Amino acid sequence: MASGTIAFESHHDHNQCIEQAMDEARSLCKARNQRLTPIRELVLKLVWQSHKPLGAYEILPALAEAGFNSAPPTVYRALDFLQEQGLVHRIALLNAFIGCPHPGKSHHGCFLICRHCNTAVEADSRDAEALISQQASKLGFTTEQQSIEVLGCCPNCREHAEE
Amino acid sequence: MASGTIAFESHHDHNQCIEQAMDEARSLCKARNQRLTPIRELVLKLVWQSHKPLGAYEILPALAEAGFNSAPPTVYRALDFLQEQGLVHRIALLNAFIGCPHPGKSHHGCFLICRHCNTAVEADSRDAEALISQQASKLGFTTEQQSIEVLGCCPNCREHAEE
DNA sequence: TTTTGATTTGTTATAGTATAACGGAACATT
DNA sequence: AATGTTCCGTTATACTATAACAAATCAAAA
Ligand SMILES: [Zn+2]
Ligand SMILES: [Zn+2]
Ligand SMILES: [Zn+2]
Ligand SMILES: [Zn+2]
pLDDT of residue B107: 77
Confidence of residue A162 (pLDDT cuts 50, 70, 90): low
**pLDDT above 90 coverage of chain A, percent:** 84
Contact flag A135-B124 (C-beta cutoff 8 Å): yes
pLDDT of residue A161: 67
Residue A83 covered by a domain: yes
Number of domains making up chain B: 1
The domain that holds B93 is classified in CATH as 1.10.10.10
Residue A112 covered by a domain: yes
pLDDT of residue A62: 94
Residue A122 covered by a domain: yes
**Any idea of the CA torsion for B141, B143, B145, B151, to the nearest 10 degrees?**
70
The mean pLDDT value for A12-38 works out to 96
Q: Which residues of A touch B146 (CB under 8 A)?
A: 148-151
Residue A115 covered by a domain: yes
Residue A1 covered by a domain: no
DSSP-assigned letters across all residues of chain B = -HHHHGGGSTTS-HHHHHHHHHHHHHHHHHHHT----HHHHHHHHHHTTSSS-B-HHHHHHHHHHTTS--SHHHHHHHHHHHHHTTSEEEETTTTEEEE-SS-SS---EEEEEETTT--EEEEE-HHHHHHHHHHHHHTTPEEEEEEEEEEEE-HHHHHHT--
Q: Which residues of B touch A8 (CB under 8 A)?
A: 139-141
Q: Distance from A128 to chain B by nearest Cα, in Å? A: 5
What is the full per-residue pLDDT of chain B (163 aa) written as tens digits? 344 578 788 889 999 999 999 999 999 999 999 999 999 999 999 999 999 999 999 999 999 999 888 899 999 999 999 999 999 999 999 999 999 999 988 778 999 999 999 999 999 999 999 999 999 999 999 999 999 999 999 999 988 765 5
What residue numbers bound the domain in which B52 lies? 6-162
B1 in reach of chain A (CB within 8 A): no
The mean pLDDT value for A57-63 works out to 96
pLDDT in tens, A71-124: 999 999 999 999 999 999 999 999 999 999 999 887 789 999 999 999 999 999
